[in-house]
Amino acid sequence: MKLKIALSRILVTFLVATLVSAGLLFAICFNFFLTWPWGWQPYVLLGLWIASAIFFLFITIKFNYYELQRKEVIVHRFTKTLVYNFSDIIYIDEERSLKKKTIYFYTRQGHTRYLTFDRKGLLYQAMIEKCKNRISKEEFERLYPNVKF
């Protein structure tokens, strides 16, 4: 089953990245924007920046999604594909996940991973149901004392 990432989460992240890129553009090309009336260069720069922002927003929405399989969740981020088997997930921080709308989980190797909620929260429910090797927080802290919550 293909699950889309919540659009609000994508837009907030994208807004921050867009503002940073706008700041960099104007810092690099500051002398183009000092003179008034502007010549053609500032308009071309603004047009290219707006067109690239719209293009990257479309690409971000189109190519970031989750695939929920029977034994695993497959995360697609642009051209990168990550596979998380439900049997490898040993702890899900449920309290923090519900509070932040981001699934925080830990693998058998002690690695921390996080996935933002999909639009309906189906991925979180599926992970709670299908991760059969989950352990308690106390046991996780005992097995992996160096992992910070």
Give the amino acid at 15.
L
Whether 42 contacts 32, CB under 8 Å: yes
What three-state secondary structure class fits 101?
Answer: coil
Whether 89 contacts 134, CB under 8 Å: yes
Global pTM exceeds 0.75: yes
Burial 121-134 (b: 16+ CB within 10 A, else e): eebbebbeebbeeb
No. of helices (H) and no. of strands (E), the chain: 5, 7
Give the amino acid at 7.
L
Position of tokens 């051209």?
Answer: 79
The full set of domains in the chain, from first to last, is 2-63 (no CATH), 66-143 (2.30.29)
CA dihedral over 36, 37, 42, 43, signed as positive or negative: positive
Per-residue pLDDT of the chain (149 residues; tens, 9 = 90+): 899 998 888 899 899 999 999 999 888 887 777 777 877 878 888 899 999 999 999 999 999 999 999 999 999 998 999 999 999 999 999 999 999 999 999 998 878 999 999 988 899 999 999 999 999 989 988 888 887 76
What three-state secondary structure class fits 25?
Answer: helix
